[in-house]
Amino acid sequence: MITANGTGLRAIIGTVPALVFYAVYFWRVFKNNPGNRVVECGTITVAVFLAMVPLSKLGDIPDWVWAPWIILLLLLCFSTLFFVGQRAYRAIRRRKSA
């Protein structure tokens, strides 16, 4: 909720350049690594987490919004870890066969 004295509006306007910077940065990382599932999934995970930060500062978030967001973040974290493990397994397997 925006307060009457405009501090909330100033805070929102102050975060817009940071949001644009992170959006462009994550987009470039995402597009420069096609097919790299670790980078793609990790970038999405970090973006979802950074989107949670302003939501948590709003205060009273309904459970029907917060719970799926947490579940999404956990699934993204575990899928990123899965892809890291998969990559490590393949590297170890290649090293043993070479």
14 in a domain, yes or no?
no
> What is the pTM assigned to this prediction?
0.72
33 in a domain, yes or no?
yes
Contact 11, 43 (CB under 8 A): no
- pLDDT (tens digit, 9 = 90+) per residue, 37-80? 898 899 889 888 888 887 777 777 788 888 888 999 999 999 99
Contact 16, 22 (CB under 8 A): no
Which residue in this structure is represented by tokens 């948590």? 56
Which long-range contacts link 19-27 to residues 24+ away (Cβ below 8 Å)? 22/47, 22/50
Tell me the residue range of the domain where 68 lies. Answer: 26-97
Contact 48, 76 (CB under 8 A): yes
So what's the pLDDT on residue 78?
95
Number of domains forming the structure of the chain: 1
